Homo-oligomer: A and B are copies of this chain.
Amino acid sequence: MTGTAGGTGDTRQRLIDVAVELFTRHSFAGTSLQMIADELGFTKAAIYHHFRTREQLLDAVVEPILGRLRDVIDEAEQLRGVHARADHMLAGFADLAVHNPVVSVLAADPAVAEMLRRDREWDELIERQMRLLSDVDPGPSGHVKAAVVLAGIAGASGPTFVNIDRDALRAHLVETGRRALGLRIRNPRR
């Protein structure tokens, strides 16, 4: 470690990048701090300087994604009309998932959910994004559609489609979501 702010920041970011890679390959619970240290050729002490636990590292991976999700939800809730709100939520979530393929393995991982649920905001965000999508068709049917769309976009944005251009993938995900939710959009976002 260089001891300079720049060097420390770089090391922190490298740790986060390797964590994302190993979570994607082995799941969160299947990745130890030791494995991350080995992958980088670091000692565990060097990692402890930045993250005391695997949970702190997960927090650092998830925090920017949650921040963006929060923004998308806030923006969507400002719009008029259930279809426009659902469409903004859908497009924002697809964008998030396409640019953060780690969402595909974290979204369905109960070990991750268990940890995130300790934070009260997590449940609230999930509830708000579900409401934005399911208000188009109130009742159980709309809830199931919303859950299929969220889980489907998260799952399909993972390693399966590494060879498709990100913008094309995003457009296909949004189009599939619109069909599934039965959205009527006058001027769809591009």
B172 engages A110 (CB within 8 Å): no
Task: Find out whether the CB atom of B144 lies under 8 angstroms from the CB atom of A26.
Answer: no
The docked-state distance in angstroms from the alpha carbon of A172 to that of B140 is 8
Closest to A151 in B: B155
A131 part of interface (Cβ distance < 8 Å):
no
0 or 1 for each of A168-190: is its CB under 8 Å from B? (1 = yes): 11001101110110100000000
Q: Which of A5-13, A63-71, A72-80, A156-164 contacts B (4 or more CB under 8 A)?
A: A156-164
Q: CA A155 – CA B113 in complex, angstroms?
A: 13
Closest chain B residue to A164 by CB distance? B140
Which residues from chain B contact A175 at a C-beta distance below 8 Å? 141
For this complex, into which size category does the number of interface residues on chain A fall? Answer: 35 or more
Chain B residues with Cβ under 8 A from A105's Cβ? 108-110
A169 → chain B closest CB, angstroms:
7
Please name all residues of chain B whose beta carbon is closer than 8 Å to the beta carbon of A114 when the two chains form the complex.
25-26
- What residues on B are CB-neighbors of A148 within 8 Å? 148-149, 152-153, 155-156, 173, 176-177, 180
Cα–Cα, bound, A176→B137 (Å): 12
Cα(A107)–Cα(B168), bound, Å:
24
Q: Which residues of B contact A151 (CB under 8 A)?
A: 104, 151-152, 154-156
Binding site for B on A (CB under 8 A): 23-30, 104-105, 107-112, 114, 140-141, 143-145, 147-156, 158, 160-161, 164, 168-169, 172-173, 175-177, 179-180, 182
Those 4 A-B pairs whose CB atoms lie nearest each other, nearest first: A151-B155, A152-B152, A29-B30, A108-B108
